[in-house]
Structure 1
């Protein structure tokens, strides 16, 4: 029996979401459109299989085929990142990070991560997350120019003397210098852990600095710029750390791995290893750059003045409206973004003075610089007259027409 026949309520909502994704312009920097074949295997027979443990060492029988699948995912991940070890079982980037901490730290150990309000992630020590509750967390941030000051990071590290330094961000538009972080970590005797969830797709295409060989451990999500299924991974070149990471994930924080998602990760990695992937990643950067150039030309400030990766961070500190206002107005115009804090923030995290805008999802639809120039001007038009609901409706109709020329999915697929 089909979903439509069995549960029309859920079916209709999934179709509504399909229509939203197709008709709106998805510009949240952490979201992307994965491949139909990735979704196909996620909805496959593999969802039925328990496989606690690791390939060749399971606690359940009947794992001969899923063992092969997981090993393929591991091997492809290792090849992709140029590392000696990969754990592909984490269910998310947050769980991957939790697994790294569990492997290398003890409760109460000091960690030094990027401040959430400066572009870091919850799991980098934010007090509201388990990383900030289990460990004694300290923070570095960006200067008012929106860039990391590595000399200042070293100063903080010398005072804090952390056991681990976490580098990586969720709203940082510039390259991360892993070599400089390595030197800082060595200076204070700390582990160096890189969370590349946002930039992984650029890293593996050679479009961003590589965390290896500088970092002791690297984690990532498999969606975002990698365009795979939602999930997490952990990599290292240290054999001792590898054993601890495996134990930290299972049985430490997870039971049976999601074999249908691991298979989907393998399929996603195959895409990431292709020549076409490098073309896509280069276009992601080019589109973000064009987006930033137009917004600057229209009188909008960008944190750090531009971008080296897949996103821009729009600062509205000099505007009479907030990030939340901009988020709502652009949403009404058919453009999905997210409000975000900025350096020098004057509003609460629920309101903010910034907007984070990314290029990966629209690039996946085939859009290039010409489309991003048009879209950036539409964004500026809406924000210039933010209370004009008639204009928002007009822009929404225009962008729906644009979206119809770049089909990502069709109803027949679902």
Structure 2
């Protein structure tokens, strides 16, 4: 079954956690004991309804304040598709958490309170989704029950968001009027909004075409490990295992191993279920080559006619995640695909004001949750594509060598 990853986005109290809870509840994806626990928690809080947001907001501080702080991942499936949900916080101080949740997503659910329309935090999260090149956005105009299910209010919000989104790089935007609290248009069509003729949220999630989101042109296979069984049956077996990051590999293809530049031909492609003739993203496979050459973790197998960039100088758009800013001249572990190198930040080109989408050319002081364009230098060559071309080979993280803390996540540009 196809897997769809999606993240929530929007302002505080727009109902992101409630929507995810309603989606899980109405699609019958939670157990009775979980529902009973949520009912008891809702009664203790003195609520007249079942607070479905408690299904994702599990931290004590989240339940006390009624907000989302950490990224909560939930898994569910329908007969048509499997889903991974990242419920992310709406507060500005948790921008890094929203970046984390959106970094692996195919789609963002942007929630807008129908009473308030498009506000600053809506724009902020949509801008981040655009920077991370999410191919699809579903705008859920929530709390329609509080505006008497008005079609005019919905159309006004759609017009506001469309005007703002025209400045962003987003391919596919869809609009759905919902009430997460009552379940209107979440799983089942609403009897209160018969003027809306489109699909419900779950129908849209199940039928959205995501097959073309993968890069099937540029063949990229980062090697994660070398498989050498010690059994007599596989005495001469040498396989290079990993997950395909782009393109299509077939038995008999001529390939190059980077960064060494050595060439060979694919002899065999194995999966957990046995050998196959071809493999493509996001399959995890083991590739055997006809020649015994030196290939190790961090190398990349590519086709001869289409190769990625190999360089020690990088242009990176980075979200800083640590409480302490970058130290001048400090070395960090840089991890991209399966390759790890040491790197330094040479220069801060500009910061981005995520409220106004303006460049701040004179401000080089990077703090937590800031987004900045920087130049980096690595100790060994990195193998990469532009992020807009391949989100896997074009992304990276920085790790503090002293504390092992992930201090930044970034996207590579030409």
TM-score, normalised relative to structure 2: 0.24
Indicate the structure whose relative CO is greater, using CA pairs within 8 Å and at least 6 residues apart.
1
Q: Higher helix proportion, which one?
A: 1
State the structure with more CA Rg: 2
TM-score (norm 1): 0.24
